[in-house]
Chains A and B, each alone.
Chain A
Amino acid sequence: MSELLVLKDVVVSYGAVTALKGVSIKLNEGQIIAVLGANGAGKSTMLKSISKIVPLKEGKIFYKGKEMASLSAHDLAFQGISHVPEGRRVFPTLTVEENLNLGSYGARKRLLDEEVEETKKWIFELFPVLAERKNQLAGTLSGGEQQMLAIGRGLIAKPTLLLLDEPSLGLAPILVKEIFNAIRKIHEESGTSILLVEQNAKKALAESDYAYILETGKISIEGPASELAGDERVKAAYLGGSAVTKKE
């Protein structure tokens, strides 16, 4: 299995705040990797550093074996990286279908129109509610539906690597289950590699191959997901009860 994404000693700061203090992770092609951690640990910052929304202060990021130093943030969609950010960030005054179509904007030069249409059909099978609502403004969707739209918008570019930032955040338990089922299906049916950031440690570990635990900007524990699920430290801090895995 070849390495798709490698972060090497990545340091990111926002002014005086250092959000990532030398983070190294690795994701092989076809894997689902989970990154767990409490609020403010730096999980979103890590994804933003991969999609070049925030600059690296130190360290390197390799994608498909190459450093992407000369690329801009808007080039990454073309390179096969889709970022589904925290908080969904759908465009509220655009229709559901316009939102979806924009997902393929950066990738349109590597995809045929038929491919996009086919992928759209697949997304509508995955989330039938999006098909029903496709002419509705995205701002009128429920939180769960917006999350589905955000994921669909990331998928329509047929990404090699999908970055998912807390897709279950703020959703009712039944919807959380539905989203995790969808993530499994996406992985099975498309083979896309997934970097999954979550606070729902139990669910995330159940879906992933390998996991990292991020604590105030540093990886504190890592290992195969099944091992971490049984690790006493992880159990105590992240699987212990609702108090710790509580969402914002």
Chain B
Amino acid sequence: MSIILEQLLNGLTIGSFYALIALGYSMVYGVMKLINFAHGDLFALGSYLGYTLLVWSAGAVSQRFGLWGGMAAALLFAFFAVGCVGVLMERVAYRPVQKSGRLPLVVSALGVSIFLENLIMAVWGPRYQAYPASVVPTYTISLGWFHITSMQLFILILSFVLMLILYYVVQKTTFGAAIRATALDKEMATMLGIDVGKITLFIFFLGPALGGMAGVMNGMYYRQISFVMGWNYGLKAFTATILGGIGNIPAAMLGGLLLGLVEMFGAAYISSAWKDVFTFLILILILIFRPTGLIGEKVAEKV
């Protein structure tokens, strides 16, 4: 198979992780104007929780429900558990300092990040852990000259479906309009009868939940997970968020996929050692030349 197609699939796969994490950054930024630096660690936490469900249960889940059933269980478990951690995080670390301004919020987010990273290390240990091959499908699907691993196909389909649902809910439903309105003007939203507290709760569940799920997918794809992975993925996804345009759901999806592609093609055609350089070069360039991102807010508010 041509290297272009191969890198395209690799890029879209890793781009899906970035996009799913970026969505959480973007949604939380929308309602709280906070860059949630702990978001990458929620992704890592999801990865470990999925790992635990599959491995510490000695594969029992996979044996009982089959390979795909085990995966589904791990994904759902990480989704709900990390979502709940997100809600808890908002209550404990963000809401109490929200009134004090943006700087205390950011400091609090860094605190949560350090806390989570160390929590993961304390619980699961500082060494790399690995999703065993026996809990994830490893076969390759071939259509003539076209090959794709079952894991890649699964990740692409699941991410695509999740993003489609999210796009629909946020852009096409009244509830979604209420979320966007809350992000724009909380007081006005309140006057229209929107319960801003509930919307915030929803966002702080869903954003981390999607990140947690991405963590499990990432673990199944690369197998190896470590307690510091949240930092790296968090930064990449943050770059993706800025690349697309922060606070904008479709932009986060676009930014994630695009960044994945840039990384993989850069790695293939220039040098894989420079992979991270591309990412942060993009971050710098976009901040200098187009700080609103590729599809940032198009209309300025008329005063």
Q: Is the CB of B299 within 8 A of A140?
A: yes
Tell me, rounded to whole Å, the shortest Cβ–Cβ distance linking B181 to chain A: 5
Question: Does B276 sit at the interface, judged by CB under 8 A?
Answer: no
Query: Do A83 and B177 form a contact, CB below 8 Å, given A92-B301, A93-B184, A93-B297?
Result: no
Q: Is the CB of A93 within 8 A of B187?
A: no
User: In whole angstroms, what is the CA distance A146 to B302 when docked?
Assistant: 9
Considering only residues 77-109 of chain A, those with a C-beta below 8 Å from chain B are 77-78, 82-83, 85, 87, 89, 91-94, 98, 101-103, 105-108
Tell me, rounded to whole Å, the shortest Cβ–Cβ distance linking B303 to chain A: 8
Q: Is the CB of B177 within 8 A of A92?
A: no
Contact for B188 among A72, A78, A85, A137, CB less than 8 A: A85
Q: Is the CB of B188 within 8 A of A106?
A: no
A interface bracket (residues with beta carbon within 8 Å of B): 35 or more
Tell me, rounded to whole Å, the shortest Cβ–Cβ distance linking A114 to chain B: 16
Q: Is the CB of A139 within 8 A of B193?
A: no
Question: Does B127 sit at the interface, judged by CB under 8 A?
Answer: no
Question: Does A73 sit at the interface, judged by CB under 8 A?
Answer: yes
Question: Does A143 sit at the interface, judged by CB under 8 A?
Answer: yes
Considering only residues 141-195 of chain B, those with a C-beta below 8 Å from chain A are 174, 177-178, 180-181, 184-185, 187-195
Tell me, rounded to whole Å, the shortest Cβ–Cβ distance linking B39 to chain A: 23
Chain A residue contacts of B302, Cβ below 8 A = 92, 139, 141-143, 146
Chain A, residue nearest B194 (CB) = A105
User: In whole angstroms, what is the CA distance A179 to B191 when docked?
Assistant: 22
User: In whole angstroms, what is the CA distance A55 to B189 when docked?
Assistant: 18
Chain A residue contacts of B195, Cβ below 8 A = 72, 74
Q: Is the CB of A102 within 8 A of B178?
A: yes
Chain A residue contacts of B178, Cβ below 8 A = 102, 105
Report the interface size for chain B: residues with CB under 8 A from the other chain.
24
Tell me, rounded to whole Å, the shortest Cβ–Cβ distance linking A99 to chain B: 8
Q: Is the CB of B193 within 8 A of A91?
A: no
A-B contact count (CB 8 A): 80
Q: A140-152, CB under 8 A of B: which get 1 and which 0? A: 1111001000000
Chain B, residue nearest A109 (CB) = B193
Query: Do A76 and B193 form a contact, CB below 8 Å, given A93-B297, A143-B302?
Result: yes
Tell me, rounded to whole Å, the shortest Cβ–Cβ distance linking B99 to chain A: 13
Tell me, rounded to whole Å, the shortest Cβ–Cβ distance linking A179 to chain B: 17
Chain B residue contacts of A78, Cβ below 8 A = 193
User: In whole angstroms, what is the CA distance A87 to B299 when docked?
Assistant: 17
Tell me, rounded to whole Å, the shortest Cβ–Cβ distance linking B111 to chain A: 29
User: In whole angstroms, what is the CA distance A87 to B187 when docked?
Assistant: 13
Contact for B192 among A72, A87, A93, A153, CB less than 8 A: A153
Q: Is the CB of B192 within 8 A of A77?
A: yes
Chain A positions near chain B (C-beta within 8 angstroms): 51, 53, 72-78, 82-83, 85, 87, 89, 91-94, 98, 101-103, 105-108, 137, 139-143, 146, 153, 157
Chain B positions near chain A (C-beta within 8 angstroms): 174, 177-178, 180-181, 184-185, 187-196, 297-303
* 21 A-B contacts (beta carbon < 8 Å): A73-B191, A77-B192, A78-B193, A87-B303, A92-B299, A93-B184, A93-B297, A94-B177, A94-B181, A98-B177, A101-B177, A102-B177, A103-B192, A105-B174, A106-B193, A137-B298, A137-B299, A139-B299, A140-B299, A142-B302, A143-B302
Closest 8 CB pairs of A and B: A106-B193, A77-B193, A139-B299, A92-B301, A89-B188, A83-B191, A74-B195, A98-B177
Beyond A93-B184, A93-B299, A102-B194: 20 further Cβ-contacts under 8 Å? Answer: A53-B187, A74-B190, A75-B193, A76-B193, A77-B192, A78-B193, A82-B191, A83-B191, A87-B303, A89-B185, A91-B185, A91-B188, A92-B301, A94-B184, A98-B177, A102-B174, A102-B178, A106-B192, A108-B174, A139-B299
